[in-house]
Structure 1
């Protein structure tokens, strides 16, 4: 059983890693190379897809039993997770407009550092001293790389750091929601509730900050219908990324996830 569990976890990590790279590259292509400069709308498309696929998987296909939200406190925790998740993804997408993918990923390597800090602040959980020591060269390396990066952009760097910190905070809070006995939700139900809340946060931001994005997207589709297929495929892949991310966190821990994926 232990061997099977180990291979299952490795498979989840591989699935998350490959799909995450796919979404990252496609986001970079759309936001930078293709010229579709609407990161908030793109993130909202991701969350709409997550809402629809989660509902189909649970309500229609009965992949897992439907779990209900048990308390107001649990509702606010999921809302906070949704908001933090929106910040991490939107900021990450914005940073791709200013930084190359390689440098973006290098900054993302500091996620374990932020995860360890937030895990201690929120759960008072201390890792082994060796774990903390391994974070020092990672953070130092990113600082050195930032100074020598020819494509360095200060605003993009700050936004990417903020996205990394938000991603770490989301992982810690996500781990709490998935493991707390009184408020335990399986990964698919958590995504089912989280995604529509994220759409609720993103919709007004899109309307205010990215005006007429729907009309612009329709106009682009008339000239090049491939933009629709890009958005549909990207959104479906984003659902798979989030699902496997939750599953890996459930079967390991927030800090382990960030160490493996950084």
Structure 2
């Protein structure tokens, strides 16, 4: 009985972590959609800046005060420049994703986002000339075909939103490829929480002038809106805090399970997000659109399986 208790506690802890990861991932996605589309808060760059500000503050508290993970220091100017480059690409991907949510339903946004493995394989080849096995490339065919089918069958298709979503997905994939190259040496490797600690403040410095130029008077408009509706300030704070917890729970789930488990859970998370968003926002869906999304998810699962077997 004594040996079973710690094992059960361990399982419950893992289940709790995974549940928290699901809740924060799907929660921030749905809140972004609600704020940018349904609530009428039309400032995706400023919203992303709020996310990055929360990530910077909460990362500092989590690492320096709470000591969730050991502090890792930047060792050279070169390493700092690499982190800055990753931060700009990361910010671009988040802004693009948030802009797309203004124009696209969450279900279609998730379908396009599922093509990340395609862009990862593409950038890995273009940047590092790394070739995958033919079977791995073959699994990317349904990934892309599914999105093409879903696009044709999407009742709420919006070209600008679609372009932004594709751009965000490509930027996310490029960031993961470059991160593997730029921070590959033992002296420069950072765990994801320390990387976020350094990337987030740089992202804020990049996004602040972008928001002021591209979303003029956003600060005064936000102040006026929060005076009119205190609930909006609450939504912004909760939404920004959840953006940090997405990264924290992502790190903890990977640490306590494995990268493969995270990949499998991520595929299921996309499907859960689609169902929840359709129930909440009542956006119209077609049989062709759902069939396309299903084909994409099947392709992503096959891609992950082929990568695992060839390791």
Distance 1:145 1:258, change over 3 A: same
For residues 14 and 222 of structure 1, what CA distance do their matches in structure 2 show? 35
Alignment of 1:124-143 (within 5 A): 124-143=129-148
Alignment of 1:145-224 (within 5 A): 145-176=150-181, 180-224=185-229
How much has 1:129 moved relative to structure 2?
3.0
Runs of 5+ in structure 1 lacking a partner?
A: none
1:26 — aligned with what? 31
**1:48·1:199 contact (CA, 8 Å) conserved in 2?**
yes
Alignment of 1:43-122 (within 5 A): 43-122=48-127
2:3 — aligned with what? none
How much has 1:209 moved relative to structure 2?
1.0
For residues 203 and 89 of structure 2, what CA distance do their matches in structure 1 show? 9
TM normalised by structure 2 equals 0.75
**1:178·1:186 contact (CA, 8 Å) conserved in 2?**
no
How much has 1:242 moved relative to structure 2?
2.3
**1:112·1:258 contact (CA, 8 Å) conserved in 2?**
no
**1:118·1:168 contact (CA, 8 Å) conserved in 2?**
yes
* Partner secondary structure for residue 96 of structure 1: helix
How much has 1:220 moved relative to structure 2?
1.2
For residues 16 and 180 of structure 2, what CA distance do their matches in structure 1 show? 19
* Partner secondary structure for residue 116 of structure 1: helix
Distance 1:256 1:154, change over 3 A: farther
Distance 1:136 1:172, change over 3 A: same
2:239 — aligned with what? 234
* Partner secondary structure for residue 102 of structure 2: coil
How much has 1:10 moved relative to structure 2?
8.4
For residues 130 and 22 of structure 2, what CA distance do their matches in structure 1 show? 26
Deviations 1:165-187 (A, max 9, x none): 01111222334466531311122
How much has 1:256 moved relative to structure 2?
8.7
**1:45·1:235 contact (CA, 8 Å) conserved in 2?**
yes
RMSD: 2.8
Distance 1:240 1:99, change over 3 A: same
**2:193·2:247 contact (CA, 8 Å) conserved in 1?**
no
**1:175·1:249 contact (CA, 8 Å) conserved in 2?**
no
* Structure with max Cα Rg: 2
Deviations 1:221-248 (A, max 9, x none): 1221000110110001000112344566
**1:44·1:198 contact (CA, 8 Å) conserved in 2?**
yes
For residues 71 and 122 of structure 1, what CA distance do their matches in structure 2 show? 24
TM normalised by structure 1 equals 0.87
Distance 1:129 1:252, change over 3 A: farther
How much has 1:206 moved relative to structure 2?
0.8
For residues 259 and 112 of structure 1, what CA distance do their matches in structure 2 show? 13
